[in-house]
Amino acid sequence: MGSAVTDAHDHGQDRGHHGPAKGLKRWLYATNHKDIGTMYLVFSCSMFFIGGLMALIIRSELFTPGLQFVAPNVFNQMTTMHALIMVFGAVMPAFVGLANWMIPMMIGAPDMALPRMNNWSFWILPVAFGILLSTLLMPGGAPAGGWTMYPPLVLQTGDAFPYLIFSVHLMGLSSIMGAINVIVTIINMRTPEMSLLKMPMFVWTWLITAYLLIAVMPVLAGAVTMLLTDQFFGTSFFLAAGGGDPVMFQHIFWFFGHPEVYIMILPAFGVVSEIIPTFARKPLFGHDSMVYAASSIAFLSFIVWAHHMFTVGMPLTGQLFFMFATMLIAVPTGVKVFNWTATMWKGAMTFETPMLFSLAFLFLFTIGGFSGLMLAVVSSDIQYHDSYFVVAHFHYVLVPGSIFGIMAAVYYWLPKWTGRMYNERLGQVHFWLSAIFVNVTFFPMHFLGLAGMPRRIPDYSTQFADFNSVASIGAIGFGLSQLLFIYIVVQCVRGQGARASAAVWENPKGLEWTVPSPAPYHTFNDPPHVSPGAAFS
C-alpha cells in the first residue's frame, strides 16, 4: 500500500536498497522499462525464428516445380501466418523493445510514464500469439486467406476465424497502449533542458510512429470486427448479396495498412540516424530536416492507401490521385537518404557491425524504394500487382530495412545493456552472411514478378524454376545465418567478452552513453543536465 505512490523523496531514500525482484516475479510483474524492453526483444526474436521456419517451409516447397511437401491449403496457411507473425510478432515488438530500453535513457527519464500499463502491453503478446499459433492445430487449420484477410475469402476460414480476430484485437491493444506510453513519456518526461528539437532521432521517429499507431490500430480493429459480425451476426458490411462491398474492406484495411508499413520502418530510420553519425565521427547532417522529412512521410502515409488496390476497379481520378500522392513520398524519403549520405561524407568512418548493418540498410532499403517508385506508377503496376515483384519490393524494405535496422540497434546497444562487448569478428561474419543471402533470396524475385509469376501460389510453371531455386537457396542460407546472431547475443549476455565502458564507442552523442555499462537498474532518478555537446540540433 505504502509503495503504491512513489514520489521523488521516497525514491531518493530508497535508492540502492532495492534491486530487481527474484525469479519469475521479476518478469511477470515487471514495471522496469529495461526488463520490459528485454522481454519484448526476446519475444520478438522467438517470433522471428517461428516466422522464419514458416518461410523456409514456403521456400522449400517453391524450390522446384511440382508439389512435394505441403498441400496447397497448408501452403496458404504458411504464407498467411508467416506474414502475421513477422509483422505483428517480430518487427513491431522488436521496435517496442528498443523503445522501452532506450527512450527513457535518451531523454533522461527514470522510466516510462505508465509502467504498469507497460507490463500489460507486453504480456498481452504471448497470449495473442499463443492463440494465433494454436490455430495451426484447429480443424480447418490456421487462417489461409493472406495476412490481409480479404473477404469473402477470409470468411471461408474454419474454426480458426474467431481466434484470428481475437488475436488481432489483442495485438492492437498491446500496440495502442505501448504507443500511448511512448507519447506521454516523450512529451512529459524529458529532462527540462531537452526541447523537442534537441531530442535524438530515435526518439523523434518513435514519437511519430506512436502517433501513427494510435491513429490506425483502431481502424484495423474496426475492420476485423466488421469481419466478425459479417461472419456471426448477420451483418453484410463486405457481402454484396446483403448490400455490402468486399472492396470496402480493402479500403479500411489499407488505411491501416499503409501507415503500418511506415510504423515498421520509421524506428529503423531513427536507429540508423543514431549509428551512422557515431561511426562517421560526424554529426547527423540536417537534423531538423530529418525531423521534418519523417513527419512528412508520416503525414503522406495517410493519403496513399489505395496504391495497394490499383486493380480493384477504381475510377480514373482516384487512380491518378493515389499515383501522384504515392510518388510524392519519394521526396522526403530521398531527403533522408541524402542526409545519411551527407553524414558519411567527409567523415572518418570505421566499420564495426552496427555500422555495417546501417550501411547495408542504406543501400538495400534504397533499392526497395526504387521498386516502390515503380509500383506507384499505375499503368505499369497493372503488371506488377500481386506478382513476385511486389514480394521483392516489400521484402527489401522489411528485411534489409526493418530487420537490419533492428540488428544494427541490438549490436549498437548490447554493450550498454549487458556491460560486455559482443564478439566483433563473429558479428561481421553474421553481417556478411546476412547481407549476401538476403540479396540471393530476394533480388531474383524482381525478375520472377516481371516474368509473370503471381504471389501466393504453391507451384508454378516451369519457366520460373531457375530463379525460384536461387531464391530458395538464399533463404536457407539466410535462415541458418541467423543462428549465429543468437549465439553472439547469448555469449554477450552471459558475460563473455571484453568489459564495455560507459561510452562503449568513440565519443557517441546521447544521454544513454553517460550512464555506466551495464546500465543500472534505475537510471536518471534525477533529471540530468544536457551539455551543449549532447545537444542534437
Partner 1 sequence: MIRRTCLSAAGVLAAGSARADWAINMPRGVTELSAETYDLHMQIFYWCCAIALVVFGAMIWSLVRHRKARGVEPAKFSHSMTAEVIWTVIPIIILLLMAVPAAETLIKLEDGRKPDLTVVVTGYQWKWHYAYQGEDVAFYSTLARESADARRKNSGIDPFAVENYLLDVDKPLVVPKGAKIRILLTSNDVIHSWWVPDLAIKKDAVPGFINETFFRAAEAGVFRGQCAELCGMDHGYMPVVVEVIEPEAFQAWLDTRKNPAAGLASAK
Amino acid identity for residue 9 in this structure: H
473 binds partner 1 (CB under 8 A): no
Q: What angle do CA 362, 300, 88 make, to 5 degrees?
A: 65
SS3 of 508, please?
A: coil
List 336, 385, 393, 446, catalytic entry: 336
To partner 1, the closest distance from the beta carbon of 375 in angstroms equals: 10
Q: Is it true that the peptide bond before 152 is cis, omega within 30 degrees of 0?
A: yes
Applying CB under 8 A, among 8, 71, 486, 490 the residue interacting with partner 1 is 71
Query: For this structure, is 336 an active site residue?
Result: yes
CA 183 to CA 210: how far, in whole Å?
6
Are 116 and 133 in contact by the 8 Å Cβ rule? The answer is no
159 binds partner 1 (CB under 8 A): no
Helix (H), strand (E), coil (C) string for 450-462: HHCCECCCCCCCH
Helix axis angle for 115-134 and 72-84, nearest 10°, is: 170
| From 409-417, 418-426, 446-454, 520-528, span contacting partner 1 (CB under 8 A) | 446-454
List 262, 305, 413, 422, catalytic entry: 262
Query: For this structure, is 260 an active site residue?
Result: yes
68 binds partner 1 (CB under 8 A): yes
Among residues 122 and 361, whose Cβ is nearest to partner 1? 361
CA 338 to CA 273: how far, in whole Å?
12
Applying CB under 8 A, among 32, 231, 387, 517 the residue interacting with partner 1 is 387
CA 116 to CA 31: how far, in whole Å?
6
Query: For this structure, is 82 an active site residue?
Result: yes
CA 436 to CA 481: how far, in whole Å?
10
In terms of phi and psi (left: phi > 0; alpha: psi -120 to 50; beta: otherwise), the region of 166 is alpha
The site that binds partner 1 (CB under 8 A) totals a number of residues, namely: 92
104 binds partner 1 (CB under 8 A): no
Query: For this structure, is 262 an active site residue?
Result: yes
Query: For this structure, is 147 an active site residue?
Result: yes
To partner 1, the closest distance from the beta carbon of 277 in angstroms equals: 9
Instruction: Return the residue matching grid coordinates 549498437.
Output: 412
239 binds partner 1 (CB under 8 A): yes
Q: Is it true that the peptide bond before 332 is cis, omega within 30 degrees of 0?
A: no
CA 244 to CA 393: how far, in whole Å?
32
Among residues 247 and 484, whose Cβ is nearest to partner 1? 247
457 binds partner 1 (CB under 8 A): yes
Residue 273 CB contacts under 8 Å (≥ 6 apart), including other chains = 200, 201, 202, 205, 284, 290, 340
Query: For this structure, is 455 an active site residue?
Result: yes
Maximum CA extent, the chain: 73
Using alpha carbons, select from 276, 262, 489, 272 the residue that is nearest to residue 398.
Answer: 262
Instruction: Return the residue matching grid coordinates 517508385.
Output: 373
Using alpha carbons, select from 248, 178, 246 the residue that is nearest to residue 213.
Answer: 178
| From 198-206, 384-392, 398-406, 430-438, span contacting partner 1 (CB under 8 A) | 384-392
To partner 1, the closest distance from the beta carbon of 122 in angstroms equals: 33
Are 443 and 392 in contact by the 8 Å Cβ rule? The answer is yes
166 binds partner 1 (CB under 8 A): no
Among residues 354 and 419, whose Cβ is nearest to partner 1? 354
283 binds partner 1 (CB under 8 A): yes
| From 197-205, 308-316, 401-409, 517-525, span contacting partner 1 (CB under 8 A) | 308-316
| From 122-130, 168-176, 415-423, 454-462, span contacting partner 1 (CB under 8 A) | 454-462
136 binds partner 1 (CB under 8 A): no
Using alpha carbons, select from 424, 419, 273 the residue that is nearest to residue 350.
Answer: 424
Using alpha carbons, select from 361, 198, 210, 345 the residue that is nearest to residue 275.
Answer: 361
List 111, 230, 274, 352, catalytic entry: 111
Q: Rg for the chain (alpha carbons), in Å? A: 23
List 258, 385, 416, 420, catalytic entry: 258
374 binds partner 1 (CB under 8 A): yes
Query: For this structure, is 282 an active site residue?
Result: no
CA 442 to CA 358: how far, in whole Å?
19
List 175, 209, 371, 472, catalytic entry: 175
What mask, x for binding partner 1 by CB under 8 A, covers residues 310 to 349? -xxx--x--xx--xx--xx-xx--xx-xx--xx-xxxxxx
455 binds partner 1 (CB under 8 A): yes
To partner 1, the closest distance from the beta carbon of 437 in angstroms equals: 20
| From 15-23, 92-100, 205-213, 462-470, span contacting partner 1 (CB under 8 A) | 462-470
501 binds partner 1 (CB under 8 A): no
248 binds partner 1 (CB under 8 A): no
To partner 1, the closest distance from the beta carbon of 314 in angstroms equals: 10
SS3 of 412, please?
A: helix
Which residues are marked as active site? 82, 111, 147, 174-175, 258, 260, 262, 273, 307-308, 333, 336, 455
